[in-house]
Amino acid sequence: MEALGFPSLNSHSISCSSSQKRRATKPPCQRTHFSSISSPSSLKLTPSYRSYNFRRSATRMQADSEDYELKQMRDMAAAKKRWEALVREGKVKALTPREAGYAIQLSNKTLLDVRPSTEHKKAWVKGSTWIPIFDVGNEFDAGTLSRKFMNFTMGGWWSGVPMLSYNSQFVDKVSEKFPEDTDLIVACQKGLRSLAACEQLYNAGYKNLFWVQGGLEAAEEEDLVREGPQPLKFAGIGGVSEFLGWTDQQRAAAAKEGWSYRLVFSARLVGVIVLADALFFGAQQFGHYLQDIRSH
C-alpha cells in the first residue's frame, strides 16, 4: 500500500486525552488501532477511506500520464517544423535510399545508423557506423515504469515497439569518430529520428549532412548492401503483429512470395487459436476438479 502512495491505516491510532486519563471512575485508557475498532460505524469508514485514496491515486496517475503524452505531442509538432526547415533551407540534404547507396559505394561517404538496438540487431548496412540517438531505456524508477506500462498497453504489445530514451552522449560519440567536415549520411528506420539526429549534429558544427528520406524501411534489397538476419524493411516490426504476419511489410512480401509465405503465418494463427482453446478448456477442467475436491 505505501509503495503505491496510500497511507498505512495501521499506523493511525486513537489515544485518550489527558483529562480522560485522570478520571478515577474509568479504567486506564489504551491505544486503539483503526484495524481493531469493532463498532459498525468504524467498519464502514475503513473500506470507504481506502477506496477514496485508491480512486484519488488512480486519477492522479492517469492525469500525469495524459500530461506527459500531451507534452510529447507538442514537442513533436515543434520539432517537425524545425526539421522541415533544415531540409527546406538546404542545411540538410535529402537522399533516397538508392541515392544513399550510390553515395556510399562511389563517394565513400559514411552511413551513420542512429536506430535503437532492437532494430539495428535485425539488419544493418554493411560498413555503417551505429550510434543510436534513442535506445531502449534500462531505468526502473516509478515514472519510467509507469510510462513503459502505458507504452505496452497502448499498443506496444501489438507492434513490439519499446519505450525509448534519448542518448545524451550521442553527439559526443559521433565527435569521437568523425571530424566536423565529414560527409555523413544519417539514417534511421522510418526517417524521423534521423532528422532529429541531423538537427543535433548541425547545431554541433556538422555542415555536410545528408538525410535518408523515408528511412531504411523504404530501401529495396538492391539499394544498399545489407547484413543481418532480416531484410531492412522488417527491422522495425515486432510484437504480436509480426508473429502473425499482419504488418504492411509482411503483406507486401506475401504478395510477392505467394501462398508458401502466407501458409507459415496462417499456421501460426491456427496454433494460437488452438492454444487459447486448450488453455480455456484446461482452466474449466481444473475448476471442476477443485469443486469435486471441496465437495468430498
DSSP string spanning 42-66?
Answer: HHHHHHHHHHHHHHHHHHHHHHHHH
Q: For this structure, is 29 an active site residue?
A: no
- Checking DSSP bridges between strand 209-212 and strand 226-227, what pairing results, if any? unpaired
Catalytic residue (choose from 16, 29, 188, 198): 188
Question: What's the rounded mean pLDDT across residues 18-34?
Answer: 38
Query: CA–CA separation, 235 vs 220, rounded Å?
Result: 13
Query: CA–CA separation, 197 vs 206, rounded Å?
Result: 11
Torsion over CA of 278, 279, 281 and 286, rounded to 10 degrees?
140
- Lowest mean per-residue pLDDT among 69-78, 122-131, 195-204: 69-78
- Lowest mean per-residue pLDDT among 79-83, 148-152, 218-222: 148-152
pTM: 0.66
Query: CA–CA separation, 220 vs 238, rounded Å?
Result: 20
Question: What's the rounded mean pLDDT across residues 252-280?
Answer: 78
**Mean pLDDT score across all residues of the chain:** 77
Torsion over CA of 228, 234, 240 and 241, rounded to 10 degrees?
-170
Q: Which fold has domain 65-236?
A: Oxidized Rhodanese; domain 1 (3.40.250)
Q: 248: helix, coil or strand?
A: helix
Per the structure block, which three cell numbers stand in for 32? 486503539
CA atoms within a 13 Å half-sphere pointing along the CA-CB vector of 292:
6
- In the predicted structure, residue 198 carries a pLDDT above the cut 50: yes
- Lowest mean per-residue pLDDT among 119-123, 233-237, 269-273: 269-273
- Structural domain spans, the chain: 65-236, 245-286
